[in-house]
Amino acid sequence: MLARGLVAGIALVVALHCAAEVQVMGKIPLIPRKVLFSNPDKAAPQISPDGKQIAFVAPVRGVLNVWVAPANKPDQARVVTRDTRRGIHEFFWAYTSKHILYTQDENGDENWRVYAVDLSTDKTTDLTPIEKVHAEITGVSERRPGEIVVGLNDRNPEYHDLYLINIATGERKLMVTNPGFDGIMVDDDYKVRFAVQPTPDGGSELLKPKAGGDLSQMSGWEAGITISPEDALTTNPIGFTKDGKFVYAIDSRGRDTAALTKINAKTFETKLIWADPKADVDSVMIHPTLKTVQAVSSTYERRQWKVMDKAVAGDFAYLKTVADGDVEVSSRSQDDKWWTVTFVLDNGPVRYYLYDRAKKRAKFLFTNRKALDGLTLARTYPVVVKSRDGLNLVCYLTLPPGSEGKVAGRPAEPLPMILSVHGGPWARDEWGYSGFNQWLANRGYAVLQVNYRGSTGFGKAFVNAGNREWGGKMQDDLIDAVKWAETEKVADAGKVAIFGGSYGGYAALVGMTFTPTEFACGVDLVGISNLTTFMKTIPPYWAPALAMFKQRVGDMDTEEGRQFLLSRSPISRAGDIARPLLIGQGLHDPRVNKDESDQLVKAMQAKGIPVTYCLYTDEGHGFARPENNLSFFAITEAFLASHLGGRYQAIGNDFKGSSLEVLSGADQVPGLQDALGKTEQANK
């Protein structure tokens, strides 16, 4: 239980930390949170298929919308969407070059709808106007420019039937009724080619239609490829050759790291195209019309490109001279004369260019955050840490500017540190700019990101080493990385916080409950507290993947399995929490239900353990609205400063426009009660 003097001591800690911050940060000023977490100025430019226009997202009255401009006059952009609430975060060009397509949900419920904007009139059409339905775009092809294929679970919430939708009129035609598959794949002619069927052991089968078979029935399909459980997370088809006779796949069958392969669509004979022995293939550049592989990338510590087609070798050679950072070709015109190119740095904003291939000339478009120009930003260093059982853990260490010692990537003296745990867990951290890391480093903290076992990108053996190790060896990897940081004099032992979202939030709760004195404090954002209730409340369209969850997490359908899941659940040790905890939750989260936070808070309160619990009433799994991110990070900053001694920017008016409700523990965070009172008065 927390010491009774904790709350009284908070003010003293906040008063004392200012002296320590000057020693670490020198004269480097605080970067305002709004610079780091407000909407980007402009982002995600995409060239139209005909090469004549460019689209990007930028705010309108504080909300991200899509803008379109002539490709040669990007400064003449006009806004073409009218979102006023959550902002548009994902969009793309239709192959008509006359329409923009985007997806949007309501308050984070992930009941996605698909919208089309006619650029001749700026009229927006809801292509999937059905309540409480999760839409998935399944097919977009230059051969059918006026139509797209969309999966809708309107008939059965667990399975998506495929519909052909006319972009201009919104007319919707049923293509195939899903008889029980996790997904159905179409080719560039919108012909149904494959279906993915999970197997009871956690693997899957890639099925193909029988000649003359009824595709709405299981009997209308026949076996193609069996993907074992060990390959299930590292093997999947990604597209077809131009003639449709072969399918490209990211494929780990018969090897450890996932390679790029070419599979005969009839015989399923497989040919290796390229593989990296240290990391999975993570991006494939395919010619827009010829459908040939031109370049492949993989990421161990930093992204590396392998050029496969000499036709683009000169382009990649030139792009290396344009700007620093890791490069990505983000869009291409259909004639392949124009590319949009993104350069990602660790200590600066993302840089976007329009590249003219004929002239081998890249024209700078914009950065995503102009306010970062000229600021002193932190550097991020890849490091490889050994786990206690010998695994290589690729980590990223971000250090406060001015804190570096004589050895690159090491501070002159130990620092308070944030252990930042990525979600998924079947995902990974990568090198590059992070507003989150820059924020914490600017406040005087080292930030350590760990690709623990179970993370993707490092081969199937590494992924599968995380099976049934939630709260076990996956957590040990995090602790091992912290011990490394303490041994290397990076982290000040006793001043380490654990912070994560989703699975990372679960890991933060495990850290606070299973190792209650390891961390000075913890921050959980939409994290899981009870693995059994989590698996019982997943979205219905995740049901086909339950076999995979049972194999990799635990089986909730047996008594033995439920006991195992409970033993790995933070709720089982809520009474052991001994250090301060901050929780953030979205009311409409369909993945990690609000009850995950509620039950832990209730258990802590029953034991008299204080906890600060922040609820956002218009959010889901993570926060889309900048106002909500600003408010939660303002609270987090004060919370961390009071327990680790880092620098602190007052909350100020960072609650403005937020849906924040503090359900518990406002008195545990310096300045929070006053800020809530001022916000309440302003709203009146």
Instruction: Tell me how many degrees the CA angle 134-155-553 measures, rounded to the nearest 5.
Output: 55
Q: Which two tokens stand for residue 177?
A: 């009724």
| 163 pLDDT higher than 50 | yes
- What is the reported pLDDT for 679? 81
pLDDT at 9 over 80: no
Ordered domains of the chain (ranges, CATH): 6-30+376-530+569-683 (3.40.50.1820), 179-308 (2.40.128)
Q: Which of 38, 333, 502, 659 is catalytic?
A: 502
Report how far apart, in Å, the C-alpha atoms of 388 and of each of 427, 452, 455, 483 are: 22, 12, 17, 10
Please, what is the angle between helix 435-442 and helix 626-644, to 10°?
30
Quick one: pLDDT band at residue 25, thresholds 50, 70, 90? low
pLDDT for residue 383: 98
- pLDDT (tens digit per residue) in 618-675: 999 999 999 999 999 999 999 999 999 999 999 999 999 999 999 999 999 999 999 9
Q: What is the mean pLDDT of residues 5-27?
A: 40
C-alpha–C-alpha distance, residues 398 and 501, integer Å: 19
Residue pointed to by tokens 């899941």: 565
Residues 6+ apart with CB under 8 A from 607: 1, 574, 575
Across 117-126, average pLDDT: 96
Q: Is the peptide bond before 626 cis (omega within 30 degrees of 0)?
A: no
What mean pLDDT is reported for the chain? 94
Q: CA 193 to CA 237: how far, in whole Å?
A: 11
170: closest CA among 136, 119, 128, 123? Answer: 128
Tell me the average pLDDT across 103-128: 96
**Global model pTM greater than 0.85:** yes
Active site annotation includes 631: no
Question: Which one from 589, 597, 618, 643 is the annotated catalytic residue?
Answer: 589
pLDDT of 10 strictly over 80: no
pLDDT value at position 17? 39
Q: Which amino acid is at 595?
A: D
pLDDT at position 19: 35
Binned at pLDDT 50, 70 and 90, residue 129 comes out as: very high
Active site residue 502: yes
Residue 228: the pLDDT is 96
* Confidence band of 433 (pLDDT split at 50, 70, 90): very high
In residues, how long is the chain? 684
DSSP string for residues in 533-587 = HHHHSS-GGGGGGHHHHHHHT--TTSHHHHHHHHHT-GGGGGGG--S-EEEEEET
Q: Quick one: what percent of the chain has pLDDT higher than 90? A: 94
Taking 60 as the threshold, does the pLDDT of residue 103 lie above it?
yes
Q: What is the pLDDT of residues 364-381, one digit of tens each?
A: 999 999 999 999 999 999
Reported as a pLDDT band with limits 50, 70 and 90, residue 26 is low
Residue 478, Cβ density class (10 Å: 0-12 exposed, 13-18 middle, ≥19 buried)? buried
* pLDDT value of position 680: 78
pLDDT of 6 above 50: no
pLDDT digits (tens, 9 = 90+) for 509-563: 999 999 999 999 999 999 999 999 999 999 999 988 899 999 999 999 999 999 9
Query: 244-291 pLDDT, tens per residue?
Result: 999 999 999 999 999 999 999 999 999 999 999 999 999 999 999 999
What are the CA-CA distances from residue 203 to residues 270, 281, 554 (Å)? 19, 20, 15
Q: Which member of 621, 631, 658, 659 is catalytic?
A: 621
Lowest-confidence segment of 403-412, 413-422, 426-435, 468-477 by average pLDDT: 403-412
The yes-or-no verdict on residue 414 having pLDDT over 90 is: yes
287 counts as catalytic: no
**Which residues, 6 or more positions from 613, have their beta carbon under 8 angstroms from its beta carbon?**
583, 585, 597, 601, 662, 663, 664, 665
